[in-house]
Amino acid sequence: MFEDVILPEGMNPETLEHLMNPKNYGKLENPSCIGVSLDEKTKEYVIFYTLLEDKIVKDVSFATNGCQDTVVIGSMFTEMIKGNDLDYANGAIAKMHEKLGAMTAQQQICAEIVFTAFIASLKNFENLQNGQEEELHMLKMKESCEAENMPTDGENNE
């Protein structure tokens, strides 16, 4: 589809495909568990919807108000774990780090917010299995994806 497109330096065709046509984006009907990761500083979040059956990720989707890096990583990660067992899915986080290669510090945090939302969804599943009533499980990010020296709302960069 993007064969004739000149890619920006460092971008591969798979990344462009996930950027232009994100996979598994949006709310999943009837998930087994829901996890949210939140960057309190920027208010960026990822919601991870997971449908588990017998320790298999039968279906998965995500939603975010984050940047394009977060969308691309969410799309790639959900495609990687969909249909696989939980052991594979947990190992997929390390595989994604390898696949993504050298990233800026901000891109690494974009990746972590996706992975943290997945981990939060698994914690939600565990809590529900243990009889806790919990609509979703939220984990707050330790690091913010806000770049240093960038203007915030209301600040002028003149």
Domains and CATH numbers, the chain: 18-134 (3.90.1010.10)
Cα distance between residue 55 and residue 72, in whole Å: 25
Bridge-partner residues for 33, per DSSP?
50
**pLDDT for residue 143:** 84
With a cut of 70, say whether residue 11 has pLDDT above it: no
Confidence of residue 149 (pLDDT cuts 50, 70, 90): very low
DSSP-derived letter for residue 84 is S
With a cut of 60, say whether residue 1 has pLDDT above it: no
Q: Shortest CA distance to 73 belongs to which of 43, 31, 37, 41?
A: 37
With a cut of 80, say whether residue 154 has pLDDT above it: no
Task: Provide the percentage of residues in the chain whose pLDDT is more than 90.
Answer: 60
With a cut of 80, say whether residue 155 has pLDDT above it: no
- What is the SS3 assignment for 72? helix
**pLDDT for residue 89:** 93
Q: How distant, in Å, are the alpha carbons of 56, 91, 117 from that of 63?
A: 21, 22, 10
**pLDDT for residue 81:** 96
With a cut of 60, say whether residue 121 has pLDDT above it: yes
**pLDDT for residue 87:** 94
**pLDDT for residue 126:** 96
